[in-house]
Amino acid sequence: MARTLPVFIVALILYAAALAGIVYLFILLVRVLRAYLRSQQVRREQADVTRSLDQVLRQHRADCHMTQEFVAEALGVSRQAVSKWESGASDPSTSNLLALAKLFQVPAEELLRQARQ
């Protein structure tokens, strides 16, 4: 009886330590999941704010009530080139970007500032 009591106490202490470790891991898991769920909302909000150059160009063209063909003729490029710029398949050259800014009557810096990548 004298030997079984210390073994029982040691077993009880080990069990309590294991249980405390499991509880601690559970608390950490809950914290991580809460942070992850909050970050999805933050990422969604950032995605709404962040726009790429193609979206900015498309928006300015639509705001000016211009067609891709009109923009292409005004810049001396093909309509397919304007379509590629607006789909994100390619970016306009610096000279074309300056011409687009002039056509949309906005500073070129404004186009680039709105396009946060």
pLDDT band at 50 (very low <50, low <70, confident <90, very high): low
Residue 117 has pLDDT above 70, yes or no: no
Name the amino acid, one letter, at 87: S
Other beta carbons within 10 Å of 59: 14
pLDDT (average), residues 58-78? 95
Would the pLDDT of 112 be above 90?
no
Do the Cβ atoms of 103 and 75 come closer than 8 Å? yes
Q: Does position 44 have pLDDT exceeding 60, yes or no?
A: yes
